[in-house]
Structure formats: structure tokens, C-alpha cells
Amino acid sequence: MRLLVVEDDPDLNRQLVTALSDAGYAVDSATDGEEGHFLGDTEPYDAVILDLGLPVMDGVSVLEAWRREGRAMPVLILTARDRWSDKVAGFDAGADDYVAKPFHMEEVLARVRALLRRASGNASSELSCGDLVVDTAGARVTVAGNAIKLTSLEFRLLSYMMHHKGKVISRTELVEHLYDQDFDRDSNTIEVFVGRVRKKLGIHVLKTVRGLGYCLSEPDEQA
Ligand code: CA
């Protein structure tokens, strides 16, 4: 899963990027509304954390522009505690949720998880496929109750596939959602990651769809 943080306060921006990266997401960040708008308009984010008070272009205008342009990713807005009118303006502009400043980072992380799972039609924070269970809240993976150790990139790949269970995901799409914009991307390495995750899981849920990409679905007898 890949996220965008748009926040002009440098300390808060860094704290958000660090916490979200530590939680296993690929994270890009912008410090003004214009740059944030551009990134959200050109890169395929799974969710965005958007401050409303931003230089150059304010957060509500950024959000309105994205929605007008058909960008439908979930957006969590950051508002000032005492400004109820900001929340109303934010929701009317197309926000999905908000957190008032100052906030606890755990709350932002929980709200982001909720936005991501709702966007993919999952009600529970535990995603499962056969014996495979991915606990998105604790970033834990088990197969038939046994814990599986994955690197953060492997977990990001599995989590993205679990959030899009049953859908064919191209290598290009995977690359776009696993790496931040500064990463030296190479779609060939995806094959290697998929191979490693398959081996660690030991069950055949991550399937290759020849010429199209990958699809995560219930294990079959090929395992
Ligand atoms: Ca601000």
C-alpha cells in the first residue's frame, strides 16, 4: 500500500512519514498544496493524509480539484481542533475521514487502516484467504495458525494482494503501489518478491496469471 502525506509543518510531516513507513507503507510526502495536488493527480495512492492549512493551495482546494478530476482515493484530512467549519468544508470537498490536531499517531494509523480496508470492501482488520490470515492492525501473518515472518516489502506486497483478493493485479500496478516515488523501480524484482512470499507461505494462494500479472485467491490443489 502506498500513501501520500501533504503537511507543511516539517516536524509533523516527518513524524507522519516515519510512523507510516514503520507501519509498512510506501510513503511519499509534499509540503505545499500545489506539490501535493500534483502528486495525488499523477500517482496512484491507496490513501492520502491531507492537512487543510497549506501554503500555495489550501487543502480543501486540493481535495476539490482531485475529486473534480476523478481521483477517488480515500482522503483523511487533518484539521484544527476548534474549527468545526473546517471539518464540514473538508467533508463537503470529498474527505472520507478526519483527525483533529494535535492527534495521537496511533489514531492516524488506525484511521488509515480503516480507510484502506473499507476502500477494498473489507469490514474486518483481519483479512483471510484459506488458511492464510493477515492481521492488518498488528502486521501479522499466519498460515494455519503458524506465524510467518516477512520483510516489510514482502508484507506490503502480500497486504496489497490481500486487499485486492480475487482481482488480477499487473506487475506495473504492484510496482506503483509497493514503492515510493524515490525508489529505483524495477518490475523484474516483483517476480523475485512474489517467489519469496510464496515460498514463505507454503500454500498456493498467490497465483500467476500468464501475461497479466498475479491474483490472490483461495488455495487449490496445485499447492
Ligand atoms: Ca498546516
At 223 the pLDDT is 44
CA of 18 to the centre of ligand 1 (A): 18
| Average pLDDT along the chain, 223 residues, taken 10 residues at a time | 97 98 95 98 97 97 98 95 88 96 96 95 91 92 96 93 96 92 78 94 94 91 51
CA of 9 to the centre of ligand 1 (A): 6
- Domains for the chain: give ranges and CATH numbers: 2-119 (3.40.50.2300), 126-216 (1.10.10.10)
Q: Which of 163, 77, 104, 85 is nearest to 128 (CA)?
A: 163
Buried b or exposed e, range 165-190, using 16+ CB within 10 angstroms: beeebebebbbbbbbbeeeeeeeeeb
Asked whether 180 and 166 are in contact (CB, 8 A), the reply is no
The three three-digit cell numbers of residue 219, written as one number: 488455495
At 82 the pLDDT is 75
CA of 50 to the centre of ligand 1 (A): 9
CA of 75 to the centre of ligand 1 (A): 16
H/E stretch holding 192: helix 187-201
CA of 95 to the centre of ligand 1 (A): 16
CA of 63 to the centre of ligand 1 (A): 15
The three three-digit cell numbers of residue 120, written as one number: 477494498
Residue 161 phi/psi, 5-degree rounding, is: -65, -40
At 83 the pLDDT is 82
CA of 176 to the centre of ligand 1 (A): 28
pTM over 0.85: yes
Estimate the share of the chain in helix, then strand, then coil, as percent rounded to the nearest 5. 40, 20, 35
CA of 62 to the centre of ligand 1 (A): 13
CA of 212 to the centre of ligand 1 (A): 42
DSSP string, 26-55: EEEEESSHHHHHHHHHHS--SEEEEESS-S
At 219 the pLDDT is 83
